[in-house]
Chains A and B, each alone.
Chain A
Amino acid sequence: MKKHFITGLLILLPVALTIAIVVFIVNFLTQPFIGAVSPIISKYLPLEHNVLFLTPTQIIEYGSQFLILISLFVFTFLLGMVGRWFFIKSLISLGDNILHKIPVINKVYKTSQEIIKTLFVSDKNSFKQVVLVPFPNEHSFVMGLISKESPLICKNKTERDLVSVLVPTAPNPTTGYIFMYDKKKLIPLSMSAEDAIKFIVSCGVVTPDHHEHIKES
C-alpha cells in the first residue's frame, strides 16, 4: 500500500508541479488584460451550455487567456521589428525623453530601464560559471555563480582583482549575497549552473554524481 502510494506520488507530483508553475506564469502574464478581454469575448460569443466539464465562464476565461498570450507574443515581436525603423526609433526616444521628465515616474522608469538593459545586453557568460568560495570562514565552502567583474571603484580602493559572486541561500535561491572575491580565492568547478541550483534547492541531496547514478540505473 505504502509502496504504491509513493510510486503514485512520484508519477503525479512532477506533472502537478509543472502544471502549477505554468498556470502561475500564465495567470501572471494575462492578469492585467483579462478584465478587458473577457467581456468582449462573452459579448460576441454567447455560450449558454456546458461543454464537457467546463462552464461557459470558464471557457471564456481560458479562451481569453490564450488570446492574451498570443497577442502579447505578437505585440512584443512586432514592437521589436518596428523599433528598428528610423522613424519609429525617433518616436520611441521622444517617449523616452518625456517619461524621463515626469517626476516620481522617471525614477521608477530609469531604474527599471537600466536594470533590464544590463540584463539583456551584458555578456552571456554571467551566472554560467559555478565556483567554490570560502564562506563564512576558511574552513567551509559554499557554491556560487560568477556574476561579472566587480565595479572599478571597489577594485581600486582595495587594490585587488575582485570578481562579484552570487551565493544563493538554500533552499530558496531567490535570495543570497553578492560577494566580491579576490580572483585567486575562487575555485572554478566543472558543473553547470543548473546542477548548482539543484544542489542548493535540494539542500545538498541532489548532486551531479547522483544524477549520473540515476541515469545508469
Chain B
Amino acid sequence: MKKHLITGLVILLPIALTLLVLVFLMDLLTAPFLGIVHGILTFLGSNILYLQNHQIILLFLSRIIVLLLLFVLILVLGYLGNKIFFNWLLQKFHRIMLTIPFIKKIYKSIRDLIKTFFSEKGSIFESSVVVNFPFEHTYMMGFQSESVPSKVTDRVPELKNGKTVFVPTAIHPTSGFLVMMKEDKIHPTEMTTEEVLKFLISAGLFVPKDKHITDDKAPN
C-alpha cells in the first residue's frame, strides 16, 4: 500500500510541478493584456461563437491568443529592428526615455543588464567549479562567471588572471555570494549547470551519475 502510494507520488509530482510552473509563467506573461482580449472575446463569444456560458474556455482561449500575439509582436519588432528607418526611431525612443527623470535610472540599468545578457554567447556561466568556501578546509560548488574587472585588478594585481565565481546558497539557489578568486584556487568540475543546481536544490541528496565521476582528482 505504502509502496504504491510513493510510486504514484513519484509519477504524479513531477507532472504537477511542471504544470504549476507552466501555468505560473503563462499567467505572468498574459496577465497585463488578459483584460482587453478577454473583453473582446466575450463580446465576440456572446454574438458569434455562442460561448457565453463557457467562461473557462474563454479565459483559456484569451490566454493563448495573448501568448501568440506576444510572440508575433516580438518577432515583428525584431524584424523591424534591423531596418534602418525603424532603428532610427528606436534610437529616438531611447533618447526620450533617458530624459525622463526617475524613469531614466530604472530604464538605463535594466537595458544595460539585458543587453549584456543577450550579447553573451550561450549560458551566462562558463563552467561549474569547486572552490574553498568559507575557508581552506571546506569546499562549495559554484559557477564560474567572467574575468575580474580591470578596475579591481588595477588595485589587486594578484587577481589578474582571476575569475568571478558565483557561490549559490542551498535549496534556494537564487541568492549567494559573488567572490573573486585567483585562478589556481578554482577547481573546475565536469558537472553540468543543471547537475549543480539539482545538487543544491536537493541539499546534496542528488548525486550526478557515475560517468561524470570518472577519475576526477579531488581538489587539494
A contact residues vs B (CB 8 Å cutoff)? 1, 3-15, 17-18, 21-22, 53, 55, 58, 132, 135-137, 139-143, 169-172, 175, 187-191, 194, 197-211, 214
Contacts and interface: CB of A to CB of B under 8 A. Distances in A.
B131 interface: yes
Pick the most buried of A21, A55, A202: most chain B CB atoms within 10 A of its CB: A202
A141 B90 contact: no
Contacts of A209: 149-151
Which 6 A-B residue pairs are closest in the complex by CB-CB distance? A8-B78, A136-B134, A204-B164, A204-B145, A4-B78, A7-B78
Given A205-B146, A207-B149, A21 B106 contact: yes
Given A169-B175, A199-B178, 16 more contacts: A8-B73, A8-B78, A13-B114, A21-B106, A139-B185, A140-B131, A143-B152, A169-B177, A189-B152, A203-B145, A204-B178, A205-B124, A205-B145, A206-B113, A207-B146, A210-B146
15 contacts: A3-B78, A6-B78, A11-B77, A11-B90, A13-B110, A140-B132, A140-B179, A140-B180, A172-B175, A202-B117, A204-B165, A205-B116, A205-B124, A205-B146, A208-B151
Interface string B90-108: 1000000100000100110
Interface residues of B, number: 62
B159 A11 contact: no
A4 B78 CA distance: 4
A162 B180 CA distance: 23
A188 B151 CA distance: 10
Contacts of B75: 1, 4-5, 8
A179 B16 CA distance: 43
A96 to B, nearest CB: 31
- Max count, chain B CB within 10 A of own CB: residue among A10, A208, A209: A10
